[in-house]
Amino acid sequence: MRNRLVTIVEGHGEVQSVPLLLRRMAELFYPGRYIDIPRPIRVGRDKFLHDTRGFNRQLTLAAAKTAKSGCVLVLLDADDDCPAQLGPQTQARVAQALPQCPARAVLAHREFESWFIAAADSLAGFRGLPADLIAPDDPERKRDAKGWLGQRMGHYDSRVDQPALTSRFDIALAESRSRSFRKCCSEFRSLMDA
C-alpha cells in the first residue's frame, strides 16, 4: 500500500485545498491509516498540458518527491474541454512519463468548485451561503462554478473560500452527484490500494 501521495495542481486555492480534500478522503475511505500528502506542485494548466518538456519535468519532480514508495495524482480543471476525452489523454501521457511510479490524472468537470455545487446542500448556511441552498439538477453543467458560488456568497475568493468549503462539503453527496468527483474518488482509492 502507498503511504505518500504527491500532487500536481493548477490553482492557488488548490495548493491548500487538495491536500485537505485528500486527507478527508483518506479518513473516510481508510480510517486510521496515515497518508503523507506534501504541499502540491502548482503548474499553469495550459502550459503544463501543451509543453511536453515541462509536462515531463513536473512529473519527474513529483515522482522524485514520492521517495520511491509513493504515488502521484495530477488534478486539473477541465475548463471547456471534455473530461471524458482530455482525462484519458492526460492519463496516457502521465503513465508514459512515469512508467515505474503509480500515477493518475483527474480532471474536474469545468472547475474544482463544481464539486462544491454537487454537494451544495451540505454547505447551506456556511460562509454566507443561503440556509436553503440546494444543488442544481446537473451541477457539472454550470460553466462558472466560482461565479455561481460568488453570487450566493456575495463574493468568492478561491484562496480563502476554497479551503474552507473543502473542509466542509459532503464527500459522499458530491460523489453521488458528480461523475468527475466520482472519478477522483475512484482514482484516489486505486492509488492507495496499489
* DSSP secondary structure of 72-95: EEEEEE-TTS-HHHHHHHHHHHHH
pTM exceeds 0.85:
yes
Its domain, for residue 14, covers 5-116+158-193
> Structural domain tally of the chain?
1
Q: What CATH number has the domain bearing residue 72?
A: 3.40.50
Q: What is the pLDDT of residues 136-186, one digit of tens each?
A: 988 887 789 999 999 999 999 999 999 999 999 999 999 999 999 999 999
Q: Is residue 169 part of a domain?
A: yes
Cα torsion 165, 170, 171, 174 to 10°: value is -90
Cell 478561491, located at residue: 158
Q: Is residue 149 part of a domain?
A: no
Q: Is residue 125 part of a domain?
A: no
- Residue 68: what pLDDT? 81
Four-residue CA torsion sign, 23, 161, 174, 11: negative
pLDDT band for position 54 (cuts 50, 70, 90):
very high
- Residue 185: what pLDDT? 98
pLDDT band for position 2 (cuts 50, 70, 90):
low
